[in-house]
Amino acid sequence: MHYAYEETHTLDERCYTHFSLSPEILMEHAGLALASAVKKKLTCKKNALFICGSGNNGADGMVAARLLHGKFNVALYLPSQVKSPLAQLQLERAKKLGVPIVETLIDADVYVDALFGSGLNRPLESVTCKLLEALNTQKGYKIACDIPSGILNDLTLSSTIFHAHETIVMGALKLCLLNDTLKDAVGKIRVASLGITRKAYEVPSPFFVLQKKDLKLPFRTQKNSNKGSFGHVAILQGTKEGAAHLAGIGAFHFGAGLVSLIGEKIKKLPVYLMHTPTLPKNASVILAGMGLEMPFDATWVKHLLLSNDLPLVIDASLCHHELIVELLNSQKPLVLTPHPKEFSSILSFTCKEKIRVEEIQSNRFFYAKQFSEIFPHVVLVLKGANTIIAHKGELFINTYGTPSLAKGGSGDVLAGMIGALIAQGYSLKDAAIHASLAHALVSKKLTCNNFALTPLDICKGLKCL
């Protein structure tokens, strides 16, 4: 895992006070990292244009242009007067070295956005929006310095944002880059060292970005075992029984020893899934909500879920039902797996205030963190382009999701996978983290067209992780 931060200014200040590193030293390393990224996209016949702002982000771009000048064809474009002392110094150095400065936006093979970075504290003016729109229409490769221009330092967004193929973020990951709404704007994210190791630069944070190497699969190491050793997942089957079937298949493929569907018996059921009209005595975890079409017998469902001490995984329809309040207040171990619309319903029940999906998507980290602090016994899995697992004020962010997962049934499989890990002894938080990682990594690993991936493909792909 890597830390992420709402702001990194305090980390820079720490470098100045704790390690006696000057702002100029950090800037030179930032420019070196940016130059290295640009260099990979250049040849002797290609050119790069650095669009530099008036502050220190613009100065980073000037350093990079200076480092590349002489070997590569680079130029500076300065749409506004340079103001910060360091930017003025770096511009003077670039001029003395002969780095070309152009008066208008020119065609280039590589465009570098060094306008604002994380220092933007006001909405963009119309002239700047027009510049970003013009840059976004250019065919060249686009690199953002620190963060794409148009993202304000309070994590809100301007109406226009620079769309980068690659973002070179300085020092440490910025939380704003991981917002769902920016998935198509930030491109590949690479963290640049600023003269000290990342470990030395960073301090503990409640925000974590998951890595592939964090995944812990439920490999079976105990030789003296039987099906009961790996838990029993019980799934409440609704009228749309296909959703429960997919959850059951996901649970079985992810290591659960037994999987039972609770409800009316139907004819077409995979041979390895069992049916039961009531809760199995040896159940390890209960899954409910998927395929549970309203109206349903709320009294029976409430009794099934609350008349025992088993952990719960709640999804889909139950997020839209007032029973969710009783489940949350019961203090039972609980994993919630809503998509944003379902989370909006949950918040309306718990906060007595309707929060629109658009507002949730713009402030996903805030709402997820706040909810996890109000309900510390709950693990929230807020699904999205970058899925958030929230628990006790800590957020674990899974950036590996792909558009191929945007299909009905994918979430049912994920719920089943979480239930399987709980049944096998994982903590609720760990079950959510590792099931989410496996779910996303399968979608990246499978080689079929991304529009053709099915929920069953996810289950089958678990064999090859």
Residue 158 annotated as part of some ligand binding site: no
CA 411 to chain centre: 16
119 annotated as a binding-site residue: yes
Enclosing H/E stretch for 8: none
DSSP 92-137: HHHHHHT--EESS----SEEEEES-GGG--SPPPHHHHHHHHHHHH
Q: Annotation-wise, does 180 bind a ligand?
A: no
* Residue 447: half-sphere exposure toward Cβ, Cα within 13 Å: 1
Q: Is 121 annotated as a binding residue?
A: yes
What is the DSSP code (8-state) at residue 267? S
Answer yes or no: is 309 a known binding residue. no
The reply to whether 117 sits in an annotated binding site is yes
Q: Which two tokens stand for residue 54?
A: 């008036």
Q: Is 57 known to sit in a ligand binding site?
A: yes
Q: Binding residue per annotation — 122?
A: yes
149 annotated to a ligand binding site: yes
Instruction: Please check if 123 is assigned to a binding site.
Output: yes
| DSSP-derived 3-state class of residue 43 | coil
Residue 364: closest CA among 158, 175, 208: 175
| 289 assigned to a ligand binding site | no
At residue 227, what are phi and psi to the nearest 5 degrees? Answer: -60, -30
Q: Cα Rg for the chain, rounded, in angstroms?
A: 26
What strand order describes the sheet that includes 285-288?
173-174, 2-5, 207-209, 394-398, 387-391, 378-382, 334-336, 312-314, 285-288, 232-236, 258-262, 274-276
Residue 450 assigned to a binding site: no
Q: Is 198 annotated as a binding residue?
A: no
How far apart are the C-alpha atoms of 52 and 81, rounded to whole Å? Answer: 10
Beta strands of 237-284 (E only): which ranges? 258-262, 274-276
List beta partners, residue 261.
Answer: 235, 275
Q: Residues annotated as binding site?
A: 56-60, 113, 117-123, 146, 149
Q: Residues annotated as binding site for K(+)?
A: 57, 113, 149
Q: Residues annotated as binding site for (6S)-NADPHX?
A: 56-60, 117-123, 146
